[in-house]
Amino acid sequence: MEDIFEELQLHVGDRMQIEVPSRRHDMKFFTTLVGYVKGLSVLLRTPIVDSLPLPMRDGEKLIVRGFSGKETFSFETTIERICREPFYYLHLTYPEVISTTKIRDAERVRVNLPVKVTPAGASIAKHATISNISTAGILIDAEEELGEKDQEINVSFHFTIQPNDYDAHIETAALIQNVALQDNPSGDFTFQYGVKLLKLQSSQAILLQNLIYQKLLENHHNLT
C-alpha cells in the first residue's frame, strides 16, 4: 500500500507552516521538519516566537502546510506529545489525508519591498517599490522615471526569510522589458516597470524561491 506522506519525498530541514485553528485565524507559524516514523508520527520543531518556544499543548489540532517539488500540500493533525529535550519539537499524528495543489512555473507573488534602482553606468540610486516578484523578474512601481525599455539597470533589495528571520539581500543586474503608466488614488500616475533579473547567482535564486514559497504559504487560499 502506498504511503501518501512518503510520496511527498520531504527532507529533514524542509520548511513548513503550522496553523492553529483553535486560535485566531491569522496565527500561522513557520517551522522545519525533524523527521517522521512511517505510519506513526511526524516530527516538527516547535515554532520559536520572540526567542521562546511557542506555548502549545498535547491534543491541540493543527493544519500543516508545505511544499514538495512543484506542489503545495496540507494536512490536518494533532499534537501527540511536546518534547523539550534535546530541543523543543512536536510529535504529530501521522496524516491519513493530504491535499495537494500544483504550483505554476515562474509563479508570481505580491510583495511590498523597497528597492534601490541604479541605471547602468550611473552612481546615484533611485528609490521605488517591488509590487510582485518571481524567480525570473519583478514588477517595480516608481514615482519617477527609472529608465526606458531595453535599458539595463541594477537593483538592490532586502527581504526576510522565515523561520529564523534571515535577512536576505539581492543585488543584481536587470533589464527593463516594459514600461507603463498607472493611475493612482491621488489622481496622479505611477511608473510601472516589468523587469527581468539578470545574472542571478544560484544562492540568490534559492533565496527568491524561498520568499515565493513563504508568500504562497501565507496566502494559500489564493492558490488555484
- Judged by phi (left if over 0) then psi (alpha if -120 to 50, else beta), residue 39 lies in left
Tell me whether residue 87 is in a domain.
Answer: yes
Structural domain boundaries, residue 167: 109-222
Domain identity same for 86 and 120:
no
**158-210 tens-digit pLDDT:** 999 876 678 999 999 999 999 998 877 776 788 999 999 998 887 888 788 88
Domain identity same for 92 and 169:
no
Tell me whether residue 1 is in a domain.
Answer: no
Residue with cell 508520527: 41
Domain identity same for 59 and 120:
no
Domain boundary among 102, 118, 135: 102
pLDDT at 16: 86
pLDDT at 2: 65
Q: How many domains does the chain have?
A: 2
Domain boundary among 102, 131, 157: 102
Domain identity same for 184 and 151:
yes
Closest to 99 in 3D by CA, of 191, 208, 220, 186 = 220
Closest to 173 in 3D by CA, of 220, 219, 222, 122 = 122
The fraction of the chain above a pLDDT of 70, given in percent, is 90
pLDDT at 222: 47
- Judged by phi (left if over 0) then psi (alpha if -120 to 50, else beta), residue 13 lies in left
